[in-house]
Structure 1
Amino acid sequence: MQEFDIQDSVKGIWDKLGGWLDSIIINLPNFFLAVIVFIIFIFIAKYVGKIFDRIFRNQIKQNSIRMMAIKVIKAIIIMVGFFVALGLLNLDKVLTSVLAGAGVVGLAIGLALQGTLNNTFSGVILSFLPEIQIGDWVETNGFAGSVTEINLRNIVIKQSDNNYVVIPNSKIVEEPFKNFSRTPRSRIFVNCGVGYSSDLEMVRDLTTKTIQDNFPQRGNEEVEFMYQGFGDSSINYVVRFWADVTKNRDILIAQHKAIIAIKKAYDANGVNIPFPIRTIDFKNSLNLDNKG
């Protein structure tokens, strides 16, 4: 009985191996076709990667962002080729299992790296935004400076005091920011005051002409002069004009130049810029009766 059992087991094994061999021989053309298709998709991924590399070089200045985007595109194409190859091998169940497993793994990774992925995707978004580029002068999250780097995790700003500030990408995407470099010209504000005895129309015309001579206006631009109110010792006004501004320093330079020009014009025409004056009135409320 034992000999018959051993013979039956051996025969079953050989039958099983024979069935596998037959399946391999039958599916051998599909196997070679699947391999060829997968290799073709790999070459397609490399070619498409080179094309997108040329496209991204003009749009993305950061190498890390550009290389990551190209790798993602290549990975997607190769994954498509892998799934097509599995379909040619009639491995539908394996394909379904792979997709299910990839979904579970992706969900777990996404939950574990939620903050990191948020900054990463924000970095990708920032790299494509024309509103912020390397070299732009921006104000955001309470900091102001020139953008020196945009990577997958953060943006680096060099402030006017030569210190660097590292801000997470998600903060830039979620919070408003002001970019001085997106417009070549900007409006400058200068506040001042003149004495109550001044000829207000003459002061207005003199100030407007002084600003126009030092800051030529273009197109529809104009110098705007408006009195704002009566101060403690002066009648206050604001003058607004346009100048070439791409960073905060340009604003300071324009204000500096305008203040010097206004002061010289006022000195030459006898216009007084009063400093705060406080009048102290001494009243003798003490009645001294020396009688008696």
Structure 2
Amino acid sequence: MNADISNAWQKVQAMVNGFFALLPNIVLALIVFVIFFFVARTIKQVVKRLTSNRRHARNLGMVLGRLAQGATILLGLFISLTIVIPTLRAGDLVQLLGISGVAIGFAFRDILQNFLAGILILLTEPFQIGDQIVFKNFEGTVENIETRATTIKTYDGRRIVIPNSELFTNSVQVNTAFDHRRLEYDVGIGYGDDIDRAKQLILEAMHETEGVLREPAPDALVMELAESTVNIRARWWIQPPRRADALDARDKVLTAIKKKLIANGIDLPFPTQQILFHDQTEETDGDRSRQREGWPAGKGKVPKPRSISDSLRKLAEMRSQSNGSTGDSEAVSTRDEV
């Protein structure tokens, strides 16, 4: 019993002696770590200040500053450990860091993927805070670009959080990337209307509308000969290109075009369908020497128009004749048997 207590006491004394022997190294390591900690904070502020000149780069400066701060603190920790434990080599630390990095990478793969994508988005700036973008079924204004996700505010007042990896690997439509934006709308006129006159009126309506730019100039192009209309595409440019301005300009331009065309006698027809019944075609309905409306070509006899009552009467006569012929044949058969 006394031997066990003596051995334990010797181990405690050895630990205390070892601690006091390492105490200068521990103090020096703490001093080095504190120095690196304050240097890291200074580096963070410097990076944020250097990136503050870039427009909408506050998130980028914050992310890069944190990365620089973390790397500096990690370097200070490695140096402090080598001071406390002189036998610890840098190669061992790198090997340990590599193994730990692989394990962390597999465990937090999605998080790291979004983090790297967020850094690349902040560096390349395909869109910026305040831009209006369209991503898949979502459209709105970019509120914030973080390291994990980007948030947009839709036009109806909802917030959408999109992972950065999705934004970086898919197509994104940026509506406010340039100063000007072109809008267009197809206007249908009647086949009997003068196309050149209609195009001139559409251009006049766009030129007279407030908010439509003179340069680039608006234009009107015939795009399609549709079933009921001749479609003319009106195209005009606006500035700024934000959605509210686009909706306002669209409302003014379409209202002006409709008023201008109606005032000058240009028809704006709606889709119509024409159904032809062959047995209701009149004798005066064109020349039957040429095939039209489903009738065979040739100079055959033109059928007269027939009403529904006449058709029912003729059908009744055909049935009565059929019944009469059937009765006569039965009577002949009966006489033959007798």
TM tier, smaller = 0.7 to 0.9
TM-score (norm 1): 0.78
- Deviation of 1:246 (Å): 2.9
- Deviation of 1:187 (Å): 0.8
- Deviation of 1:110 (Å): 0.7
- Counterpart code for 1:162: G
Residue in structure 1 matching 2:269, options 264, 267, 274: 274
2:151 counterpart residue number: 156
Question: Is contact 1:62–1:151 with CA below 8 Å preserved after alignment?
Answer: no
Question: Is contact 2:205–2:260 with CA below 8 Å preserved after alignment?
Answer: yes
Rounded to whole Å, the distance in 2 between the matches of 1:160 and 1:82 is 48
Give the greater-gyration-radius structure (CA): 2
- Counterpart code for 1:165: I
- Deviation of 1:117 (Å): 0.9
* Percentage identity across paired residues of the two chains: 26
Rounded to whole Å, the distance in 2 between the matches of 1:107 and 1:186 is 47
Structure 2: tracts of 5 or more residues without a match = 1-10, 281-302, 322-338
1:184 aligns with 2:182: no
Residue in structure 1 matching 2:109, options 99, 111, 114: 114
Residue in structure 1 matching 2:160, options 152, 161, 165: 165
Deviations 1:144-185 (A, max 9, x none): 111122223222222222222221111011111011122121
1:49 counterpart residue number: 44
Matches within 5 A, 1:131-150: 131-150=126-145
1:253 counterpart residue number: 248
Rounded to whole Å, the distance in 1 between the matches of 2:247 and 2:55 is 31
- Deviation of 1:230 (Å): 1.7
Question: Is contact 1:145–1:158 with CA below 8 Å preserved after alignment?
Answer: yes
Higher RCO by CA contacts (8 Å cutoff, separation 6 or greater): 1
- Deviation of 1:234 (Å): 1.6
- Deviation of 1:57 (Å): 4.0
Could you tell which deviates more after superposition, 30-39 or 174-183?
30-39
Give the 3-state SS of the residue equivalent to 1:242 in structure 2: strand
- Deviation of 1:49 (Å): 1.5
- Counterpart code for 2:105: G
- Deviation of 1:56 (Å): 3.6
- Counterpart code for 1:263: K
- Deviation of 1:65 (Å): 6.1
Distance of aligned partners of 1:112 and 1:278 in 2 relative to their CA distance in 1, 3 Å threshold: same
- Counterpart code for 2:213: Q
Rounded to whole Å, the distance in 2 between the matches of 1:205 and 1:270 is 13
Question: Is contact 1:123–1:153 with CA below 8 Å preserved after alignment?
Answer: yes
Rounded to whole Å, the distance in 1 between the matches of 2:69 and 2:53 is 20
Deviations 1:227-276 (A, max 9, x none): 12222222111111111243334333222211100011112211111112
Give the 3-state SS of the residue equivalent to 1:182 in structure 2: coil
- Deviation of 1:140 (Å): 0.6
